[in-house]
Amino acid sequence: MAGRPGPGLLLGMGMVVAAAAVPSPNPAAEPRVYLSSWAVRVAAAGPREAAGVARRHGLLCLGQVRPGEPYYHFKHRGTRQKALSRHWGWHMRLTKDPKVLWFEQQTVKRRAKRSVSVVPTDPWFYKQWYMNNDINPDLNILSAWSKGYTGRGVVLTVLDDGLEKDHPDLAANYDPLASYDFNSNDPDPQPRYTARDENRHGTRCAGEVAAVANNQICGAGVAYNAKIGGVRMLDGLITDMVEAQSLSLQPQHIHIYSASWGPEDNGKTVDGPGMLATEAFYTGVTKGRGGLGSIFIWASGNGGINYDNCNCDGYANSIYTLSVGSVLASGQRPLYSESCSAILTTTYSSRTTSEMQIVTTDLHHRCTDKHTGTSASAPLAAGMIALALEANPALTWRDLQHLVVRSSKPAHLQAEDWAVNGVGRKVSHHYGYGLLDAGLLVEMARAWTGTRPQQKCSVKALHTPLPLSCTRRNIGSKLTISTDVSSCSSSSIRSLEHVQVQLSLSYSRRGDLLIALTSPTGTTSTLVTVLRCGNCRWISVRTSSCTGREGTGAGGVWRGVWGHPSPPQPQPPPPSLLTACPSRPSSGVRRSSSSSRGSPHHLGTGIQLAAWGERANAGHGGDTTAEVVRDRGVPSAHKSSPPP
């Protein structure tokens, strides 16, 4: 109403209202709801005069609608606050009041938020406690979804025992170009069905990553709009060639390769990729994704119950893979989860069938809520990496390692070995840098500006054989080897990313040895732990640990994070490589072996420290490798083949 209408206009308004009371021919039309509330403009009056006008009509003045403006909020004192028609009595009174210039009875307006609900409607999503847990910290995936990142445009493949490509919760996201069967040499990754469903592993891992959301089937994948493929390569004879072919499948099409397998987790085996698979890793990170680098996500291993150590797994400890550990909902480490200095981050899994486990797709078009192990942790990380790649498709394989370290949180994870490294970041052999946070990961990925090219430097740590003997009299003794690493100082490597120790030794009982690497700042990374199996066989030992940044060059070894260089510091002492006889016999090992009798053993001439990090100079160009001293002691330039 504007001004004070005459009787004719009032009659017209009454007729309109009467017409509006007739049921609408449109069944979808909803009636207007009127409130016992008015916006009123009072002529030349302040708050006191407006309150007086309201009182004359039996209304309450609740103050100005907008500060400094003559519009006031009048409200009826009665209990009935809603109606389907106007309050005509007050309408007439306000119309006749000379001090009321304008008024309008308030109605309820229907408005919708212009955002997509991030909570999927899938029937089992409520079981996905690792995504929607209100008690303990979850993986913060809903936060990433709320920012609009669901994996769209990212392609992943699961290297495993096959993929049920026609599963109703996977079919819409299935990508045939990201799939192959290297066991049967055909493009169909469909698993081989058996009575006991032994080949369900790959389908379960794939569902964690890319199960379709909001389709009323099972739950939702972490990256539910990503494309998913499967590589059948574990259901047959596994060779170096099969692994290399799997790791090299469509590297310009596939962004992320997820693997939840490795050497036997028996606490005895030390094994890793062969020459072809090693070449495949190196070619993937240097040429995959148009030169940005393929992303290899690896489960750390389930051998914890056997005292296995993932540093003895050449896949999990490769600098080219992103190794993922497990933690329970309670924040405790599962007994099966392996520990090592190569673990970069952690996601959730479970312990027993009495606990809530991981929800995913299963064979025969079914769903399961019984997936577990570090096999379940790696695909969750792969899905979160897919969210980060959607946020910033230009991220390199090294960028993602940096981001994962920065977006992993140690809070809530229980371990006795948490330590603050040389760059002030907490780190654990059980969990790496902590629980991966998807929301933080995508936020940092959006703003990430990239890293400098990678530089490698190698230093020979031992040139002559060194005797090593453990007897009953010197149990717990230490042999320390200090190495001058000034050649890998900040003049060539600005900030450290990885350090790898390659050593050759002759010793009868590997399980009796502990080998650790200590940085100039005092951070110790355990490379080989004492094993229950003293007479475990030797294959090779090549261990690596993610290392520091935040102003640290290669003047030492840090297991930390990277950042900006600090002012020049005094030259720190060289890092040390420590081998030790155990302080007490390990479980199940008799101490009457030849080593206990003092027979001679040797550390060979093959101890070598290799450091990777950001190049110190700001020049352009690709990743390079500095002068490398090979095992045979001959210097050589090394640029195109995998590092030793």
Annotated catalytic sites, by residue? Answer: 160, 201, 375
Q: Give the C-alpha separation, 622 to 606, whole Å.
A: 29
Phi-psi region of 252 (alpha: psi -120 to 50; beta: other; left: phi over 0): alpha
Chain centroid to Cα 156, Å, comes to: 15
- CA–CA distances in Å: residue 386 to residues 157, 209, 217, 221, 499: 11, 9, 22, 11, 27
CA 364-366-368 angle, to 5 degrees, is 130
281 contacts 273 by C-beta, under 8 angstroms: yes
- CA 139, 140, 143: angle at the middle one, nearest 5? 155
**What is the DSSP-derived secondary structure letter of residue 20?**
H
- How many other β-carbons are positioned within 10 Å of the β-carbon of residue 477? 14
Distance of CA 507 to the CA centre of its chain: 39
Helix (H, G, I), strand (E, B) or coil at 522: coil
DSSP calls for 326-395 = EE-TTSPPPTT--B-TT--EEEE--SSTTS--EEEEETTTEEEEEE-SHHHHHHHHHHHHHHHHHH-TT-
Q: What is the C-alpha to C-alpha distance for residues 69 and 174, in angstroms, rounded to an integer? A: 60
**Is residue 347 a contact partner of residue 373, using CB atoms and an 8 Å limit?**
no
- DSSP states of 288-327: GGGGT--EEEEE--S-GGGT-BGGGBTTTT-TTEEEEEEE
Q: Give 239's contacts (C-beta < 8 A, 6+ positions apart).
A: none
Q: For residues 62 and 54, what is the distance between their CA atoms, to the nearest angstrom? A: 10
Alpha-carbon 347 to chain mean position: 7
- Tokens 């070894």: give the residue: 557
- Helix 275-287 to helix 240-247 angle (10° resolution) is 10
Cβ neighbours of residue 251 under 8 Å, at least 6 residues apart?
A: 283, 284, 287, 288, 289, 294
CA distance 510 to 529: 9
> Based on C-alpha coordinates, what's the Rg of the chain?
33
Structure token digits, residue 458: 């190698």
Distance CA 482, CA 505 (A): 17
Give the separation between CA 390 and CA 295, rounded to whole angstroms.
14
* CA-wise closest residue to 386 among 599, 210, 530, 601: 210
- Name the one residue in this structure whose structure tokens are 């005292």: 307
The three-state (H, E, C) secondary structure of 242-283, written as one string: HHHHHHCCCCCCCCEEEECCCCCCCCCCCECCCHHHHHHHHH
Closest CA to 554 of 433, 454, 405: 454
In whole angstroms, what is the distance from residue 17 CA to residue 506 CA?
99
